[in-house]
Amino acid sequence: MYIRRVTRKNKDGTTVAYLQLAHNEWDPKAKYAKAKVIYSFGREDEVDRAVLERLAKSISRFLSPEQAWEVETLTGEASDDFQFQSCKHLGGVWLLDQLWRQLGLGEILHSLFTSRHHQISLERLIFAMVANRALHPSSKLAMEEWVEKDVYIPHLPQAASHQLYRAMDELLAVQPELERQVFHAVADLLNLEVDLIYFDTTSSYFEVDPSETPEGESLRKQGFSKDKRPDLVQIVIGLAVTREGIPIRAWVWPGNTMDMTVIKQVKQDLIGWKLGRVISVMDRGFSSEENLRILQQAGGHYIVGEKMRSGKAAVEEALSRRGRYHEVDENLHIKEIIVGDGEARQRYVLVYNPSEAERQRKERETLLESLKEELEGLRQLPNEAHHKATCRLRSHPSYGKYLRQLKDGTLRIDKQAVRDAEKYDGKYLIRTSDDTLSAEDVAIGYKQLVDIEQAFRTLKSTLELRPMYHRLEDRIRAHVLLSWLALLLVRIVEIRTHESWPNVRDECERLMLGHFSSKNGDLDQRTELTAKQAQFFAALGLEPPPKILGIHPRT
């Protein structure tokens, strides 16, 4: 039933409009719905508005508060002395909270904390910290103002820093069971393919001088820094990612941990989840023979990159084998190579990328031209300066490998070194223990390792994992755990929307919640959804926030 407006054109060219109360009835003969007039209010310019207002008010008695408010606004009955008091960011938190609930993360945390009694829900505090990582990374102290004044978090009007730290401690206490339940919940909901598990490590540093760390420090250590900050103490973080790019688990080790030493723990932890047939895909840093044996335990298999200049006899033989490449794609040419027989048999796939080979060739040519200029400049220098410049060139990380020194001390470009480098242009070597995979699947599987590199970039840059200021080991581990949960949500958003998280975040953060007050009460109403915001919610299968989130009459 609805009010409809019909018009009629008079002979003198004027138009007259009439208002009618009507509803649609199905006409079986015409096979479409026709409007049936129930009551005519007469001409629009002569209609008694009081009649319409009384009708609207009588209908509003059977509506929800939000719907009644809209009716009162349309009829002019709503109070006109509402004042706009404040606004908060709504869209980003609402999207993450709905996704959090869709994945069942809230229910999992509630079940894990049933025996713990707190004034504020631990689940809400943990979600707030996860959302903060994804939307506006800050310290726990700064989060107090962020929660209270900047964003609308359902069922969490405020949070104190000591409550957040307590929630971090409680979260770490249930970490093993949390990781297991989160993985199975997400895997079932998203139908994740977990036959290929990608693993890699990175490092994250702390803004503290090594001399300032306590003597008994066991986690923050100096080691090989992948952040180019060897002057600072750090931790090592491992991340396991599915072929879709979903992070399923994170590990934390001391900052001086070597990549080669962590595989055994990773393998044992994943075996405990009973994933079935798993092929681990790893970078060249994990390709020691001991690690490969560990990866094959319990029926597992591996796809790993091989260091082409490692000096291994099998690698040298694989690279020297002749044969044609099979073109899979424009920039993906592959060649399968079998080295050895029986139990000693090793399967390799040599991959060649013509575009990358051309790029490396041009870079080397530019480098050699620059090196020639450097060598020409040496002739103009006096003895001591000449000697220092010579040492500098020989120890240079880029120039040094293309130089050789004659008996009289003269430097020359090593042409043999240049020819050796040309042999590796655009190539990388992969080794696998699985004979059921085609060479094409092996190459594509390894190529997708870039997804985990993207996950690390998101973890460090977008979620601002680094630098870290926590001092206690448990807080550091909990910080990484929160960042992993935030990364899980972010990657699901990116995969479903086909947009980067910064784009989704920035657009959704423009959806605001306004707080209005009057003598009769308060009202919380959001701004209008943009087409892009509606598109993101639809792509994620989530409901956008209602137009009116709360009506608070004064008593």
Which helix (H) or strand (E) element contains residue 507?
helix 501-508
Together in a domain, 287 and 316: yes
* Shared-domain flag, residues 417 and 275: no
Helical ranges in 379-466 per DSSP H = 383-394, 415-422, 439-447, 450-457
Say whether pLDDT at 380 is over 70.
no
Domain that holds residue 64: 2-75
Band of pLDDT at residue 12, cut at 50, 70 and 90: confident
- Based on the fold, state whether residues 388 and 307 are members of the same structural domain: no
pLDDT tens digits, one per residue of 143-159: 999 999 999 999 999 99
Of 42, 75, 108, which closes a domain? Answer: 75
Statement to judge: residues 410 and 458 lie in one domain: no
Considering its fold, how many domains does the chain have in total? 3
pLDDT of residue 408: 76
In-domain check, residue 119 = no
Residue 6, phi then psi, degrees to nearest 5: -120, 150
| pLDDT tens, residue by residue, 492-512 | 999 999 999 999 999 999 999
User: 31 falls in which pLDDT band (50, 70, 90)?
Assistant: confident
Q: What is the mean pLDDT of residues 432-452?
A: 81
Same domain, 448 and 306: yes
For the chain, the average pLDDT equals: 84
Q: Rg for the chain (alpha carbons), in Å? A: 33
Burial of 426 (0-12, 13-18, 19+ CB in 10 A): middle
Domain termination residue (choose one: 25, 50, 75): 75
pLDDT at 59 over 70: no
Confidence of residue 170 (pLDDT cuts 50, 70, 90): very high
Question: When comparing pLDDT for 182 and 208, which is higher?
Answer: 182
- Across residues 329-343, what is the average pLDDT? 87
- Candidate from 53-62, 296-305, 366-375, 514-523 with smallest mean pLDDT: 53-62
Q: What is the CATH number of the domain that holds 285?
A: 3.30.420
pLDDT for res 360: 92
Please report the pLDDT score of residue 79 as a whole number: 47
Question: Do 404 and 460 have their domain in common?
Answer: no
CB of 207 closer than 8 Å to CB of 234: no
pLDDT in tens, 401-414: 899 888 877 888 99
pLDDT of the residue at 87: 92
What is the crossing angle of helices 175-190 and 105-112, to 10°?
150
Predicted confidence (pLDDT) at residue 363 exceeds the cutoff of 90 = yes
Output the pLDDT for position 3. 79
Contact 547, 66 (CB under 8 A): yes
Separation in Å, CA 407 to CA 39, 371, 412, 417, 481:
111, 20, 11, 18, 58
| Best CA proximity match to 95, nearest among 134, 122, 144 | 134
pLDDT of residue 229: 84
Same domain membership, residue 310 and residue 196: yes
Work out the pLDDT band at 70, boundaries 50, 70, 90. Answer: low
Quote the percentage of the chain above a pLDDT of 70. 90
pTM: 0.72
* Helix, strand and coil in the chain, % to nearest 5: 45, 25, 30
Q: For residues 438-461, give the mean pLDDT.
A: 78
Strands 279-282, 301-306: parallel, antiparallel or unpaired by DSSP? parallel
- Asked if 533 contacts 95 with a C-beta cutoff of 8 angstroms, the reply is no
DSSP characters for 341-359? SGGG-EEEEEEE-HHHHHH
453 and 318, same domain (yes or no): yes
Q: Is residue 255 part of a domain?
A: yes
